[in-house]
Structure 1
């Protein structure tokens, strides 16, 4: 049964694409890859059985073995031209499938694996847990631990009638751009982030520094477009992984939505006391209600950040080597920023989703372009 954190999660998909160089599979027949991936996926779905079911009434998962969406394609193109799985229908609604996978084989011998997992049942950490479990099966490693679905006992489901959010796909044209911050630029950003007298954090992480930098430019763009509407408030919110914040800490294999929103200046306040209040009280739910009301009135503009920088995405080896590049895809939601580590682990890829007009202003910002 979903936890209450699953219940309030939006009906959207978490997308990720892993690209593998042809050199890793040059001696492996594509048919062998196909058979290995498909067979290992079937075996992996046994312990991850909820992914083969369907959500009913936003309250429970019907584990009816309906199955996952699995597509294979032979792309007569190079690795740089891949096709992600499309999780949304032509009418803009979200499909019922909890897991969708597309395997692309390229003429160059490379391969790309695109995965979409429903946010109603999982968060980014859960997605990576599944990917690594599947990869372990594919390469014949039996040591990988299975998932733990018992989080509903920690965050019991509740009657949230009238509040459960639905996926609201933006009616505006959303565009996505990738901004890359290398190690040297991150050093500059971190120094700049803590140099001002108003700075609260004196030793910001690279994620905090990049988030603050993008947020400041987001505000500049929004203000310029709104002609300095002094009544509008701007809030940067980060998704915070709750697993290491609990007492005792939960394993990375705990499967589900184990995260919480935090305002940018309150990230470090997410601790075991906060989690206990989240389990025992209605504070978080009331915060979401107030934020939703302010957003609906136009009083509040969010910039939503989610960091995947610590996720071991570059360790996902299906038996033909580790990926040469891992990325996310465009999302039909505005003001959403996904942060991922670069392959060398020193830099950050920032995937920014914004309204087209705002992005046109952002991507011509000279200060931004000097550092990204």
Structure 2
């Protein structure tokens, strides 16, 4: 368990979730990052510990006595794993990406964030991240990763970055819900629906043409 570099302030120890968080599926959102050969594992741990001080709910845990409607921001830590992969990154990218994500399950005592750094023979690495969908959406995850990257490169956190948690819960508090609640089947279930993913790649020329089209249309309308 990797803990924040500084403890969370007492007045931030409890984070009430919003109604939208309450309705979110009890699943982990996953993302993979591929990097060319670099030697940054120690730097990754240090910068992650500093980044977690700003994103203090992530190293916390769900409170077990309130049906996971709040997070105890106790700095218990996030799961951090480093693995050695007996293959080269270039070859592995053409094969199914398996076992590159930390093993996570949604229990009150489980970490809300997991990171697995997979180092290949060539020195390249694939970093897999899983975060609870209840506490982080895609925007929050992207903000967290960008802050982590900045801290890893510079050794400091962004002074201008002000993270505010709890605003949504003040506007849309949780409540007692009636009727059955949907929960996705377990990963090994035979009734689990098939999920299809499509990847769209835009090269530099396509993006430049798109920008020119937008600029031309803006000029015409003005």
2:190 is matched with: 172
What do you get for the CA RMSD once the two structures are aligned?
Answer: 2.6
SS, match of residue 110 in structure 2: coil
SS, match of residue 52 in structure 1: coil
1:130 aligns with 2:112: no
SS, match of residue 51 in structure 1: coil
Matches within 5 A, 1:66-77: 66-77=76-87
2:121 is matched with: 107
Aligned pair in 2 of structure 1 residues 62, 16: CA closer, same or farther (>3 Å)? same
Structure 1 residues without counterparts, runs of 5 or longer: 174-332, 348-372
Aligned pair in 2 of structure 1 residues 48, 112: CA closer, same or farther (>3 Å)? same
Matches within 5 A, 1:221-260: none
1:53 aligns with 2:60: yes
Would you say the 8 A contact 2:80–2:116 is kept in 1?
yes
CA distance in 1, matches of 2:190, 2:145: 32
SS, match of residue 144 in structure 2: helix
Structure-2-length-normalised TM-score: 0.69
1:154 aligns with 2:171: yes
Structure 2 residues without counterparts, runs of 5 or longer: 1-15, 208-222
Would you say the 8 A contact 1:9–1:165 is kept in 2?
no
2:35 is matched with: 20
Structure having greater relative contact order (Cα 8 Å, sep ≥ 6): 2
CA distance in 2, matches of 1:162, 1:88: 28
Would you say the 8 A contact 1:7–1:157 is kept in 2?
yes
CA distance in 2, matches of 1:133, 1:111: 20
2:48 is matched with: 41
CA distance in 2, matches of 1:61, 1:4: 14
